[in-house]
Amino acid sequence: MNRIVRPVSGNLLRRLALASIIANVGIVVTGGAVRLTASGLGCPTWPRCTDDSYVTTPEMGVYGVIEFSNRMLTFAVGLIALATVLAVLLHRPRRPGLLALAVAVFLGIPAQAVIGGITVLTNLNPWVVGLHFLASMAVIAAAYALWRRIGDPDGPTVAAVPAPLRALARVTTGVTVAVLVVGTWVTGSGPHAGDHGAARNGLDPETISQVHADGVFLLIGLSVALIFAFRAVGAQRATRAAIILVAVELGQGLIGFVQYFTHVPALLVGAHMLGSCLVLLAALSAQWSTRERRPVTPAPQAIPTDAATPVPATA
């Protein structure tokens, strides 16, 4: 007898999407822990941990344990993404756009893992390490889009603010991405290489840090402008999202300045990596708030053509 597979509820689907966001942010933080503990080459090759073993060995010590544990977390994140894809397939009624986003998140995880493997094979080349981080940011963005899309109705998309303000929000998101990219250059010039023998990117740390700080000032200025602009047109939801964005940026900026003037302690660098994820999510939230989806309007019922024509009553 064939078992009937029950459809997945929308609440469960959204919880899985949220779990995917949290898991991908978590693996960014644990990946930072690998670098900050100089365990980047704890497993000196890839996809094996050593030439003879897929797992860490006692001779590799704590560095091998840290690096191998982070590799294992990739499988956990992948399982959550796979569960999300299956939940989308089992959800009824089928909703447009969800499957493509869920598959993008799922495929992004092995792609990110391959880039991680290349970082090991290139002895933690700082440019590849930066690309590894940015790949995680792309997966987080896709997971966030999936989570928000699940919570939206399936009707037409309408603007919540005028077109110039939507453009300003897009520029703010673009500057956010640019700040993240330059941040990887700062990291690649700094002391935390992931291994004591790993090379640096050759950029002057002070100069590139100033470029990064200038980008942060620009980003905060644009985000403050969003608050006043959204408030001026009465877009309350967008205003709240912009306020949260500025608050997250200020917290992240404070961590960045403190870590710079305290000679980049590892704990603050880890907090800064978590903050980078939160800034991206807050920027995407502000961008998402500039539009909204309306519920699907039921189609009017057609009057049967063979219906009898009522006969007017006569006196």
3-7, 29-33, 274-278: which has the minimum mean pLDDT?
3-7
pLDDT tier for residue 2 given thresholds of 50, 70 and 90 = very low
- Which pLDDT belongs to residue 97? 85
Contacts 24+ apart (CB under 8 A), 22-26: 23/76, 23/77, 23/80, 24/77, 24/105, 24/109, 24/136, 24/139, 24/140, 24/143, 25/140, 25/274, 25/277, 26/73, 26/77
- The larger pLDDT score, comparing residue 230 to residue 191, is at 230
Task: Give pLDDT, residue 189.
Answer: 86
Q: Cα-Cα-Cα-Cα dihedral of 30, 35, 40, 42, to 10°?
A: -70
Which residue has better confidence, 40 or 82? Answer: 82
Give how far Cα 31 sits from Cα of 58, 127, 218, 235, Å: 21, 16, 28, 38
The three-state secondary structure class of 8 is strand
Q: What is the pTM of this model?
A: 0.87
pLDDT at 14 over 80: yes
| Segment 162-216, tens digit of pLDDT | 999 999 999 999 999 999 999 999 988 877 666 666 778 888 988 999 999 999 9
DSSP per-residue string spanning 95-110: -TTHHHHHHHHHHHHH
The pLDDT of 271-279, averaged and rounded, is 94
Q: What is the pLDDT of residue 275?
A: 94
> Taking 70 as the threshold, does the pLDDT of residue 304 lie above it?
no
pLDDT mean over 35-55: 80
Mean pLDDT across 271-283: 95
> For residues 61 and 37, is the Cβ–Cβ distance under 8 A?
no
Q: What is the mean pLDDT of residues 6-17?
A: 83
56-96 tens-digit pLDDT: 877 677 878 888 888 888 999 999 999 999 999 988 887 88
**161 close to 230: Cβ distance less than 8 angstroms:** yes
Please list the alpha-helical segments (H only) found in 190-204.
none
Query: Which stretches within 190-235 are classed as H helix?
Result: 205-232
Read off the pLDDT of each residue in 231-246 and give the average, rounded to a whole number.
Answer: 96
